[in-house]
Amino acid sequence: MSSRLINWFKFSSPATFYPLAGRLLPWFAVTAVVLIGIGLYMSFFVAPTDYKQGEGYRIIFIHVPAAWMSMFIYLVMAFWSALGLIFNTRLSAMMAQALAPTGALFTFIALWTGAFWGKPMWGTWWVWDARLTSELILLFLYMGYIALTSAIEDTRRADRAGALLVLVGVVNIPIIYYSVEWWNTLHQGSTINFRKESSMTTTMLYTMLIMALGCWAYTIAAALSRVRSIMLERERNSTWAQQLVAEGKA
């Protein structure tokens, strides 16, 4: 590992990562506020009215980015969990734990805004089709992970149990993503797709992408802030943490 240009393992030490996270945090926070501000303005005032759904469609500008983030954050958590199990790095589990509440939040937003959209457009708040059900399972996975890791006292065992849960649950992600293609669902197919041109006007598309980037920045900022707290709490007896607290920099 020492022959690499950057020694990544250096950053897996909380003592190194804590100040780095603190320096990165304000940048991502400001980016999130700016992008979501622009995105919301465009969602309400710039993006044109839809030809069929009228104004009600504007809810997708928060629904779709939230749904993307809910799936993507879970994949990132699975990545950290696997890394933690394989390399026994302390920071990995902390990263996964820092991401979980944001993931749960975005899953909830996706389900909630979807229900609000569904009532006027489909004529129902909720149906048990494959897309909606698998997304609800994702919310339960997030909540189960949070409950499991906080229920076990010993942090090493909590980390391992949580990591295993996340990795088992990762099979749900392709099911959510492809559910609209594999089965007949009430939920429509994806508008933005890697394999075909997106079926959306450019202004709408850019608005959605700006909102998505804003959600990314928010997620990173929230996770960094949370992981700093977790690091301090877990390493409260170590020299670096006590030194920081003594200097008033924590």
Partner 1 sequence: MKARQKRALFLLGGLAVLGIAIALVLTAMQGNLSYFFSPSEIAAGKAPLDRSFRVGGLVETGSLKRSGSDLTVTFVVTDEKHRVPVEYTGILPDLFKEGQGMIATGRMGAGGIFQAEEVLAKHDEEYMPPEVAAALEKGHQEGSAKMRDATSKPL
In 3-state terms, what secondary structure has residue 50? Answer: strand
Q: Count of residues binding partner 1 (CB under 8 A)?
A: 40
Rule CB under 8 A: say whether 33 interacts with partner 1: no
How far is residue 13's CA from residue 77's CA, in Å, rounded to a whole number?
18
The single residue among 13, 155, 185, 238 that binds partner 1, judged by CB under 8 A, is 185
The single residue among 20, 41, 49, 243 that binds partner 1, judged by CB under 8 A, is 49
* Nearest CB to partner 1, comparing residues 24 and 82: 82
Return the sign of the alpha-carbon dihedral for residues 206, 207, 213, 217: positive
Q: Which stretch binds partner 1 (CB under 8 A): 1-9, 24-32, 120-128, 143-151?
A: 120-128
Site for partner 1 in 154-173 (CB under 8 A): 167-168, 170-171
Would residue 164 be called left, alpha or beta, if left means φ above 0 and alpha means ψ between -120 and 50 degrees? alpha
**Smallest separation, CB 43 to partner 1 (Å):** 13
How far is residue 99's CA from residue 91's CA, in Å, rounded to a whole number?
12
Radius of gyration of the chain, Cα coordinates, nearest whole angstrom: 20
Q: 111 vs 28, 31, 105, 184, CA distance in Å?
A: 26, 26, 10, 19
The single residue among 37, 147, 189, 233 that binds partner 1, judged by CB under 8 A, is 189
**Smallest separation, CB 224 to partner 1 (Å):** 27
Query: Which spans of this chain sit near partner 1 (rule: CB under 8 A)?
Result: 48-53, 57, 60, 82, 85-88, 120-124, 127-130, 167-168, 170-171, 175, 182-186, 188-191, 199-201, 204
